[in-house]
Chain A
Amino acid sequence: MTGTRPSAALQAPADTRRIGRIRSETISTAAIFVLTIILIFASRFVSPALGSWDQVDTIITLASFLIVVAFGQGLVILVGGLDLSIASMITLGGVLSTTWNGSFGSEWALIPAVLVICACIGALNAVGVIWLNIPPFIITMAMGIIVASAALGYTSGTPRGAAPDAFLALMKGSIGGLSAVLIFVLVFALLAWTLQSATAFGRRLYAVGANREAARIAGIATWRPIMAAYALSAACAGFAGMMLVGYANGATLRMGDSYLLPSIASVVIGGSSILGGRGSFAGSVGGAILLTTLGTVIAALGMQQGWRTVIEGAIIVGALLLLREDLIVKLRSVR
């Protein structure tokens, strides 16, 4: 059957476009890691103590909390939301695990219990987003305030208790010469990346984040991936809180505050779209390490922490500008 062939320009130019095979995410993730390495080398000029292997180890340890939190935040952003409650969830994880340590029975019952509680609170966020049509940033902000206040009341202002041994071991111990945290970060990053990018669950997250209505039409029960994302985000934050108390051997009431904005920044500069539907955890890891390195350099330079906040904000805006959909489309069509 002969028909007129559509003009060549309207045909999919896919045959000739090799660049389509290389995902833009891979390029931006690689860029982040390159940038981080450059920064680490450059920091040697600031202070000789920086830029050494020990320092890299310290940086990864410091970044470990952010990496865990950024995974959860990344999932929520992937489905098109935003989780502003993670600061309070970090605090909650730390407070509960120290306050209940010893009186809960085995540590191996305590830790999952805390994680489940956090996950349930995350699920509540999801309920507000999915069924009450409350914008994500509002419901998570409100939940954060509620949980912070609850923690304040529960501890009467002074958290007590020691960190669970498991986390003390994780944060301070070493396995075969390498610090336990380093190994943990590697294993966690691998598992997290797999969950997001190589499972059916992950595929559904990407679909729901790209276009919730289209995902629904394609036969996905959209509430499930969304709820899972918020629950996981809260659980990750709770886990990071427990890591923090293991590192500092104790909880404080505002311990999570300094991780909220960096968690968003890590995800955004790691190449994920703030609108959802695009991104890879590998990028978020790179972003987390970059930001932690930046923070270390700023502290070493003796600059006020306020500048770190300013730079984070500028980085977010910069990343948003550079990673716009229309720019990416233009880049891809250059052929």
Chain B
Amino acid sequence: MSGAVCALDVRSVSKSYGATVALQDVSLELRAGEVHALLGENGAGKSTLVKVLSGVVKPNVGTMRIGGEPYEPHSIVDARRRAVATAFQELSLVPNLTVAQNLSLPQQAKGRLGLVSGAATQKRGAAILNRFGLPLSSSALVADLTLAERQRLEITRAFACDPKVLILDEPTAALAETDWLFGLVRQATAAGAAVLYISHRLAEVRELCQRATVLRNGRSIGTVGLQEVTDHNIFEMMVGRSQAEEMRRRATAGASTRAAVLEAEALVGGSLKNVSLKLREGEILGVAGLEGQGQRALFRALVGLAPLNSGSVKVDGAPVRLSGPDVALKTGRGIAFLPEERKTEGIFPALATATNIVLPVVGRIGRAGLVSERLERDAAAGSSSKVDLSSRYLDFRIGDLSGGNQQKALLARAMQTGARILLLYDPTRGVDVGTKQSIYAAIRSFAESGGAVLLYSSELPELVHLVDRCLVVYGGRILAEASGADINERTLVAALTGHAAHETAA
């Protein structure tokens, strides 16, 4: 497409944080009027690239140009001045301010004497809301909005400054439907803006975008026209090899006759509206859902981290009240939880890996309560080999390990507890492909030995690959349950977006 105007030209950008390389030699070219997708797995470098383009961080190496002029933003405000606006995945709205105030940040509308005028700010806000068809009150506090409303507000704020370059990072994560957003995007591109669209959802990407750039492990693998490639090709670029053999489903082994080890009946609380499930011995039960549909609340309720308004939980057939993870570990055959964010909820970075692994049972490994690093290492050896974590890493501070090894260690910790029920929340998030395979193998052998696993993953191919049954959660309820041949991406995606899951498998 020669002659197309280049809106944003990114050349050989690299960014490192200490020893960790987030971006290596990434180049990208956004043309005016195009919607350009940025694809990649978690941890591929997309969010770092977004930060670089938005002026939040400065690259170590590389140049950027807008319309031929150098673009070196020192801050968000700088970027906005060059007509670059971003809707962030981690929403950048301030919760204790109103909708109108957020729309005006960082400078509110002024009235007399140069002082902020609440009325003028409200008017400005209402006008913007009107312009973009957002049915919110401009005086509402952002803290009172739903997640979907906040996402729309975040998007609106980005569009409102009439940018020439618009970056949308996972803009549909909390949205029920995409028409509103797509309409705005098409309007903007028709007016000559360039849009960088980051999303996991290939269906949406194909509908909206013309070209796509794929990142993997911090590098740009290539830029392709979406008409010319299949999903298979894209997967290959994202993960590095053909997915075909890997994503084959494992055979189910008559799990429906086994004992139910974990039962939940009509759970209500937080974002859970009414959830019931039955997890059986030896079973891997999957949970699929878009972000914010209640899956996090479900997992946390099942381990006692979130209170329940009503509903009951049974472990090994006996009703229990789970008041916390420490209680859950000791209830029945034991429930262990692998949390969503390993950095903030999982690891203790300054402690050794072995210490991290044996921590829940550290009182049992020595005599008279005395422990030593050697004792911890010996105790952790078993579980670490189960997750294919090299014993060499047991002595090191867990904070020094790669994300994949940290995740393995956390899984080892869950197994070390001796619990026979594992609740795994997105266990392969931000983890490289080799590690994923190790984790899959560990989960499978755990189930084969009679353990029960409740598994949530944001990546459908993974669920398809691993689970015996799959629940689809939507709006705090279980919308559908798939088993056998119904567990395929197409059916699951249909269920996830809220349509009835009655399509026959292709």
Indicate, yes or no, whether A interacts with B.
Answer: yes
Residues of A within 8 A of B (CB): 1-7, 9-15, 17, 20-21, 194, 198-201, 203-204, 206-207, 210-211, 213-221, 277-278, 329-330, 332-333
B337 and A14 contact, CB distance less than 8 A: no
**In the complex the two chains form, is A211's CB within 8 Å of B344's CB?**
yes
Most chain A CB within 10 A, of B24, B217, B219, B305, is at B217
B119 interface residue per 8 A CB criterion: no
| Interface majority SS (helix, strand, loop, mixed), chain B | mixed
- Contact present for B405 and A12 (CB under 8 Å): yes
Q: In the docked arrangement, what's the CA distance between A270 and B383, Å?
A: 35
Partner of A10, one of B20, B326, B328, B372: B20
Partner of A217, one of B305, B400, B437: B305
Give chain A residues whose Cβ lies under 8 Å from the Cβ of B405. Answer: 12
Taking the complex as formed, is B332 at the interface, i.e. its CB lies under 8 A from any CB of chain A? no
B455 to chain A, nearest CB (A): 17
Q: Does B132 count as interface, using CB distance less than 8 angstroms?
A: no
Q: Would you call B371 and A200 a contact (CB within 8 A)? A: yes
- From A10, A11, A199, A330, B18 is in contact (CB under 8 Å) with A330
Partner of B359, one of A218, A277, A278: A218
Contact B18 A7 (CB under 8 A): no
Q: Which residues of B contact A17 (CB under 8 A)?
A: 400
Chain A nearest CB: distance from B265 CB in Å? 24
* Contact status B325-A14, CB under 8 Å: no
Q: Which of B303, B326, B347, B393 contacts A220 (CB 8 A)?
A: B326
Contact, CB under 8 Å: A219 / B371:
no
Chain B 336-376 interface residues, beta-carbon cutoff 8 Å to A: 336-337, 339, 344-351, 355, 359-360, 362-363, 365-366, 369-372
Contact of B336 among A4, A219, A330 (CB under 8 A): A219
Contacts A6-B433, A9-B20 aside, 5 further interface pairs with beta carbons under 8 A come to A6-B432, A10-B21, A14-B401, A211-B348, A216-B326
Interface membership of B199, Cβ < 8 A: no
25 A–B contacts, CB within 8 A, in A order? A1-B437, A2-B241, A4-B433, A6-B217, A6-B404, A7-B217, A10-B217, A13-B400, A14-B392, A200-B371, A201-B369, A203-B371, A204-B362, A206-B351, A211-B348, A213-B344, A216-B305, A216-B325, A218-B360, A219-B326, A219-B328, A219-B360, A221-B324, A278-B350, A329-B18
Contacts A214-B347, A330-B18 known; A9 to B24 CB distance under 8 Å? Answer: yes
In the complex, B272 has a CB within 8 A of chain A: no
B-side contacts of A198, CB under 8 Å: 370-372
B326:A221 contact, CB within 8 angstroms: yes
Within the complex, the shortest CB–CB distance from A149 to chain B, in Å, comes to: 37
How many angstroms from the CA of A217 to the CA of B363 in the assembled complex?
A: 17
Q: B369 touching A199 by the CB < 8 A rule? A: yes
Within the complex, what minimum Cβ distance (angstroms) separates B389 from chain A? Answer: 11
Which residues of chain B come closer than 8 Å to A12, judged between CB atoms? Answer: 393, 396, 400-402, 405
A7 touches B21 (CB 8 A): yes
Contact of A11 among B329, B344, B402 (CB under 8 A): B402
**A278 partner residues in chain B, CB cutoff 8 A:** 350
Q: Are A200 and B363 in contact (CB under 8 A)?
A: yes
Q: Which of A7, A199, A329 contacts B219 (CB under 8 A)?
A: A7
Residues in A neighbouring B51, C-beta threshold 8 A: none
Minimum CB–CB distance from B296 to chain A (whole Å) comes to 13
Residues of A within 8 A of B124 (CB): none
| A84–B345 CA distance with the chains assembled, in angstroms | 29
